[in-house]
């Protein structure tokens, strides 16, 4: 979004606009998930509602509801100005939009604003220590459910607060030394690689495909497509991926124990941008044509008289639930 504007409730897009993906938000620690607003609070056949399941899996104990509208929130304009002051919290801010809409603004690593429109069914987690603000949009109506890990509270610490320990922890984790892990452990730039933005796939993979493996040593390239992790539990949002993750890791380690060099590339897939999106980058990529997640693609290095060393041969591709996994 632009830095200067006349009305905080307007879209305030940059010109030209700069879109931001869910994966890029995840890199900043912002967790976004799309729920069905018509069923997310329903208990069906005696089973907990989707919201109840989320609370249980993430350890949230309490929730309340707040309705922001001129006739619903006392001192509406004053409260709106307070929400729009740039601030942090010393705990996560968790919001589920029940009705209406509004805007969250976040600072990226370059201290530029990102504006996120939230609507009914949007579930969003803002990490502790992150500079952000909230405003209504031009409809002037948002009905939100607030989730809390402990007693309900909302305490804002306005910018600047660089010495705050929660701010320092946020900077360490997401700005200065962001965590980069695959199912094998800490990611690196050689044999255990994490691709968390589909837009970077080609730049990472092409050097490996063209000469990054040794045919003589029977090197393997393993591409593993799995769901992004839940920020609280570290587990993928995809249940089949949760089952497959340790099996894939064990299979890679067994291959390595037999003397094979494995270049392992984990490609994470964000739920909100992937589901019901036939144009998701991995689905339409000619090299991948991702059918589902989890998907495992294993390539073996070969020598070719016509094309030279570094040509890769696909030796395994499996998709679906974890039952398909066999040893490499």
**Residue 95 confidence (pLDDT):** 96
Which residues, in sequence order, are bridge partners of residue 95? 124, 146
CA distance 306 to 328: 28
Residue 134 confidence class, pLDDT cut points 50, 70, 90: very high
CA distance 181 to 95: 27
Helix (H, G, I), strand (E, B) or coil at 77: helix
What pLDDT digit, counting tens, does each position of 48-90 carry? 999 998 888 888 889 999 999 999 999 999 999 999 999 999 9
What pLDDT digit, counting tens, does each position of 143-169 carry? 999 999 888 888 999 999 999 999 999
* Cβ partners under 8 Å of residue 262, min gap 6: 191, 219, 220, 221, 222, 252, 255, 256, 328
Residue 327 confidence class, pLDDT cut points 50, 70, 90: very low
Domains of the chain, CATH where assigned: 22-166 (2.60.120.10), 181-324 (3.40.30.10)
CA distance 19 to 61: 35
Q: Which of left, alpha, beta for 318 (phi over 0: left; psi -120 to 50: alpha)?
A: beta
**Residue 302 confidence (pLDDT):** 75
pTM over 0.85: no
């Amino acid at each position: 979004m632009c830095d200067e504007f006349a009305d905080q409730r307007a879209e305030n897009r940059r010109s030209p606009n700069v879109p931001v993906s869910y994966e890029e938000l995840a890199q900043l620690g912002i967790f976004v998930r799309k729920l069905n607003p018509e069923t997310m609070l329903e208990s069906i056949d005696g089973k907990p509602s989707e919201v109840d399941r989320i609370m249980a899996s993430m350890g949230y104990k309490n929730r309340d509801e707040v309705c922001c509208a001129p006739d619903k929130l006392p001192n509406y304009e004053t409260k709106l100005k307070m929400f729009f002051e740039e601030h942090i919290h010393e705990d996560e801010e968790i919001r589920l939009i029940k009705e209406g809409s509004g805007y969250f603004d976040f600072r990226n690593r370059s201290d530029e604003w990102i504006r996120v429109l939230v609507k009914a069914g949007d579930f969003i987690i803002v990490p502790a220590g992150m500079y952000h603000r909230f405003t209504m949009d031009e409809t002037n109506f948002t009905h939100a459910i607030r989730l809390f890990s402990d007693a309900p509270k909302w305490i804002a610490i306005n910018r600047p607060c660089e010495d705050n320990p929660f701010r320092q922890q946020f900077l360490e984790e997401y700005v200065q030394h962001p965590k980069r892990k695959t199912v094998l452990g800490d990611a690196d730039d050689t044999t255990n690689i994490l691709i968390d933005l589909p837009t970077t796939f080609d730049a990472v993979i092409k050097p490996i495909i063209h000469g990054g493996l040794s045919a003589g040593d029977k090197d393997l390239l393993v591409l593993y497509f799995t769901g992004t992790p839940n920020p609280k539990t570290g587990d993928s949002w995809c249940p089949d991926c949760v089952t497959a993750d340790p099996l894939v890791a064990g299979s890679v380690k067994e291959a390595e124990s037999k003397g094979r060099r494995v270049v392992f590339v984990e490609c994470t897939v964000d739920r909100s941008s992937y589901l019901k999106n036939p144009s998701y980058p991995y689905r339409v990529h000619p090299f991948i044509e991702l059918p589902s997640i989890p998907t495992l693609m294993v390539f073996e290095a070969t020598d070719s008289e016509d094309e030279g060393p570094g040509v890769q041969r696909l030796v395994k591709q499996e998709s679906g639930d974890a039952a398909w996994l066999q040893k490499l």
